[in-house]
Structure 1
Amino acid sequence: MKTTVYFLLSCIAFMPHYVYSFCGFYVAKADTELFNEKSEVILTRDGFETVLTMSNDFKGDVKDFAMVIPVPTVLSRNNIKVVDRYIFDRLNGYSGPRLVEYYDEHPCYRYDYRMMEKMSVPAMEVMEDASGSMDFDDYQVTIEASYTVGEYDILLLSAEESLGLKRWLTDNGYQIPEKAEAILEPYLKSDMKFFVAKVNLEEYGESSYQNLRPIQIRYNHPRFMLPIRLGMSNAKGSQDLIVYAMTPRGRVEATNYKTVDIPSNFNIPTFVTSQFSAFYKDLFAKAYRRNGRNAVFVEYAWDLSSSNYTKCDPCATTPPAYSELIDAGVHWIDYEEVSGWGGADYAGNLFFTRLHVRYDNLHFPSDLEFHVTSNVTSHQGRYVMNHMYEGPIDCQGDTDLHYYLKVKDRREDELDNLVYYAGWDKNKYRSYVSAIDTDIERSDPENKRNNLWFLIKHFGRNMLEYKATPHYQYVVVTLVGILGLVFMRRFALRKKVLRVQ
Structure 2
Amino acid sequence: MRILFLLLLTVFGTSEASAFCGFYVAKADGALYNQSSKVVFVRDGNKSVITMSSDYRGAPADFAMIVPTPKVLRRDQIQTVDAKIVAHLDSYTAPRLVEYFDDDPCAPELAMASPVIVEESSARRNVKKQSLQIRARAKGVTIKAQYAVGQYDILILKAKESDGLATFLTAEGYKLPQGADLVLADYIGAGMKFLVAKVNLSRHAAKQSQDLPPLQISFRSKSFMLPIQLGKLNAEKAQDALFFLLSRKGRVEVANYKAKDLPSDGDVPVFVEKVFGQFYKAMFAKTVGRSGGIVMEYAWDMAWCDPCAADPLPNADLRKLGVRWARGNGTPQNVYVTRYHAQYSKGQMPKDLVFRETNNRRNFQGRYVMNHPYDGKVTCDEGRDYVRDTKKRLAQEANYLSSITGWSVSSIRKNIRKTVPAAYR
Q: Where does 1:308-347 land on structure 2 (aligned, <5 Å)?
A: 311-336=304-329, 338=330, 344=331, 346=332
Q: Where does 1:271-310 land on structure 2 (aligned, <5 Å)?
A: 271-289=271-289, 293-305=291-303
> CA distance change for structure 1 residues 234 and 62 in 2, over 3 Å: closer, same or farther?
closer
Structure 2 counterpart of 1:89: 87
Q: Where does 1:149-164 land on structure 2 (aligned, <5 Å)?
A: 149-164=149-164
CA distance in 2, matches of 1:172, 1:210: 24
Matched AA of 1:214: P
CA distance in 2, matches of 1:318, 1:335: 17
> CA distance change for structure 1 residues 140 and 115 in 2, over 3 Å: closer, same or farther?
farther
Among residues 329, 336, 355, which one is paired with 2:340 in the alignment? 355
Q: Compare 155-164 and 66-75 and name the one that shifted more.
A: 66-75
In the TM superposition, residue 315 of structure 1 has moved relative to its aligned partner by 1.1
Matched AA of 2:318: L
Deviations 1:386-429 (A, max 9, x none): 0011122343xx11210101110110000001110001111113
Matched AA of 1:376: R
> CA distance change for structure 1 residues 188 and 391 in 2, over 3 Å: closer, same or farther?
same
Q: Where does 1:477-492 land on structure 2 (aligned, <5 Å)?
A: none
| Residue 385 (structure 2) pairs with residue 392 (structure 1) | no
In the TM superposition, residue 61 of structure 1 has moved relative to its aligned partner by 2.1
User: Would the aligned equivalents of 1:103 and 1:114 in 2 still touch at CA under 8 Å?
Assistant: no
Structure 2 counterpart of 1:214: 214
Q: Where does 1:410-429 land on structure 2 (aligned, <5 Å)?
A: 410-429=393-412
Q: Where does 1:398-409 land on structure 2 (aligned, <5 Å)?
A: 398-409=381-392
CA distance in 2, matches of 1:416, 1:101: 19
Helix, strand or coil: the match of 1:63?
Answer: helix
> CA distance change for structure 1 residues 40 and 68 in 2, over 3 Å: closer, same or farther?
same
Number of residue pairs matched? 397
Matched AA of 1:375: N
Helix, strand or coil: the match of 1:299?
Answer: strand
Among residues 69, 73, 80, which one is paired with 2:78 in the alignment? 80
Structure 2 counterpart of 1:166: 166
Helix, strand or coil: the match of 1:105?
Answer: coil
* TM-score (normalizing by structure 1): 0.74
> CA distance change for structure 1 residues 374 and 285 in 2, over 3 Å: closer, same or farther?
same
Structure 2 counterpart of 1:270: 270
Structure 2 counterpart of 1:378: 363
Structure 2 counterpart of 1:24: none
Matched AA of 1:47: G
User: Would the aligned equivalents of 2:5 and 2:67 in 1 still touch at CA under 8 Å?
Assistant: yes
User: Would the aligned equivalents of 1:104 and 1:114 in 2 still touch at CA under 8 Å?
Assistant: no
In the TM superposition, residue 118 of structure 1 has moved relative to its aligned partner by 5.7
CA distance in 1, matches of 2:308, 2:5: 34
CA distance in 2, matches of 1:432, 1:403: 21
Q: Where does 1:20-31 land on structure 2 (aligned, <5 Å)?
A: 20-21=34-35
User: Would the aligned equivalents of 1:293 and 1:358 in 2 still touch at CA under 8 Å?
Assistant: no
User: Would the aligned equivalents of 2:29 and 2:95 in 1 still touch at CA under 8 Å?
Assistant: no
Structure 1 counterpart of 2:12: none
CA distance in 1, matches of 2:160, 2:369: 55
Which of the pair has more CA radius of gyration? 1
Among residues 37, 43, 46, which one is paired with 2:44 in the alignment? 46
CA distance in 1, matches of 2:417, 2:133: 75
| Residue 403 (structure 2) pairs with residue 439 (structure 1) | no
> CA distance change for structure 1 residues 184 and 115 in 2, over 3 Å: closer, same or farther?
farther
> CA distance change for structure 1 residues 438 and 238 in 2, over 3 Å: closer, same or farther?
closer
CA distance in 1, matches of 2:413, 2:133: 71
In the TM superposition, residue 379 of structure 1 has moved relative to its aligned partner by 0.4
* TM-score (normalizing by structure 2): 0.87
Structure 1 counterpart of 2:351: 366
Matched AA of 1:412: A
Helix, strand or coil: the match of 1:245?
Answer: strand
In the TM superposition, residue 371 of structure 1 has moved relative to its aligned partner by 1.4
Among residues 104, 110, 119, which one is paired with 2:108 in the alignment? 110
Structure 1 counterpart of 2:33: 19
User: Would the aligned equivalents of 1:258 and 1:294 in 2 still touch at CA under 8 Å?
Assistant: no
Structure 1 counterpart of 2:25: none
Matched AA of 2:58: G
CA distance in 2, matches of 1:168, 1:432: 58
In the TM superposition, residue 19 of structure 1 has moved relative to its aligned partner by 2.8
Structure 2 counterpart of 1:28: none
> CA distance change for structure 1 residues 147 and 17 in 2, over 3 Å: closer, same or farther?
closer
In the TM superposition, residue 106 of structure 1 has moved relative to its aligned partner by 1.3
CA distance in 1, matches of 2:145, 2:169: 16
User: Would the aligned equivalents of 2:254 and 2:355 in 1 still touch at CA under 8 Å?
Assistant: yes
Deviations 1:53-111 (A, max 9, x none): 11122223212211111111111111111111101221111110100010001112339
Q: Quick one: higher RCO (CA 8 Å, sep 6+), 1 or 2?
A: 2
> CA distance change for structure 1 residues 358 and 118 in 2, over 3 Å: closer, same or farther?
farther
> CA distance change for structure 1 residues 5 and 402 in 2, over 3 Å: closer, same or farther?
same
In the TM superposition, residue 166 of structure 1 has moved relative to its aligned partner by 0.3
> CA distance change for structure 1 residues 205 and 97 in 2, over 3 Å: closer, same or farther?
same
Structure 1: unaligned runs, 5 residues or longer: 22-37, 121-126, 306-310, 339-343, 442-501
Matched AA of 1:93: S
CA distance in 2, matches of 1:263, 1:59: 32
In the TM superposition, residue 228 of structure 1 has moved relative to its aligned partner by 1.1
In the TM superposition, residue 232 of structure 1 has moved relative to its aligned partner by 1.8
User: Would the aligned equivalents of 2:283 and 2:405 in 1 still touch at CA under 8 Å?
Assistant: yes
Matched AA of 1:381: G
